[in-house]
Amino acid sequence: MNGSEVGRKRLKQLFQYLEAFNQQRNPVIRQVEEQVWALWFKNLPQHPSIRRGGGDDENELYVLKVSRPALATAPRPPKEIKSWLMPGWDDCYKEAKGFESETEIDSDGNEIKIRFDEDPERVRLFNQWLGERNAWAKREQPAREAYKVFERVYAMYNRIEREAGRLELALGDGILNWRLSAGGINHPILLQRLQLSFNPQIPEFTFQETAQPVELYTALLRANPEVDPKVIAQIREETEQGNFHPLDRDITSEFFKGIVQRLSSNGQFIPE
């Protein structure tokens, strides 16, 4: 073995050591659930307080806006029927129900069973209130779900502020779902860095793109030693030149179709 071969061998060993050291310090996250935080677009509730990506609001481009929705309490039931209602009537996720009968004690100490439907006026008041209450519940459920999203974003924003420089947000697309002997993969491969700002006057959070270009999560592809590094380099170059974007469904779909076939002979692209 000549000197140049020895040098190459030592250099290779050095790179392997540095790669192993980096993997130990910064392990590749294979599962999106293992990330510190994740918010799925498909799970966002339909509510005016949540406005999705690609919008242009007063010349301000954004990916997502989340404001705090106004919550409303359930309509108060008339006093004539309030005691007949089962607990939970003021919960928009539960069905409002009433007791069919009540038991009272008369002056002689005897139990008297009183049915709810014995009084037509009581039945009328209940039905009228129930219609108003159910209409409220239908409106309120999306608002409550939107409020949960607002609270999640609020907590994440505070954490980012506390841990400045340690956490960053990214918009991801192209879920690579791959069963491997070394451990399964289920994570986006196309990433766009985001910044999160907060307007306390509204209050509202805004997710916006940073100036950084869209990037390929190459560390995830290298997690499978059977993938040719040249193929990864080609895909990364295509990413840099292709002007792809996680929210551009048509263009990225064609891009992902080409990737999946090069990663595995059994690869399949599933649009949804």
Asked whether residue 156 is assigned to any structural domain, the reply reads: no
Contacts of 36 (CB under 8 A, 6+ apart): 159, 167
Q: Which residues pair with residue 112 across a beta bridge? A: 104
CA distance 146 to 139: 12
Give yes or no for residue 16 having a pLDDT over 80.
no
Determine the pLDDT at residue 244: 84
pLDDT band at residue 268 using 50, 70 and 90 as cut-offs: confident
Determine the pLDDT at residue 59: 54
Asked whether residue 12 is assigned to any structural domain, the reply reads: yes
Mean pLDDT of 107-123: 84
Answer whether the bond into residue 203 is a cis peptide, omega within 30°.
yes
> pTM, whole model, 2 decimals?
0.80
CA distance 156 to 160: 6
pLDDT digits (tens, 9 = 90+) for 164-216: 888 999 999 999 888 887 778 899 999 999 999 999 999 999 999 999 999 99
Domain that holds residue 26: 1-30
Asked whether residue 231 is assigned to any structural domain, the reply reads: no
**What's the structural domain count of the chain?**
1
Asked whether residue 22 is assigned to any structural domain, the reply reads: yes
- Across 4-13, 188-197, 213-222, least confident range: 4-13
pLDDT digits (tens, 9 = 90+) for 40-80: 999 999 999 999 876 445 556 899 999 999 999 999 999 99
Asked whether residue 211 is assigned to any structural domain, the reply reads: no
What separation in angstroms does the CA of 205 have from each of 47, 78, 90? 15, 40, 29
Report the chain's terminal Cα–Cα distance, integer Å: 54
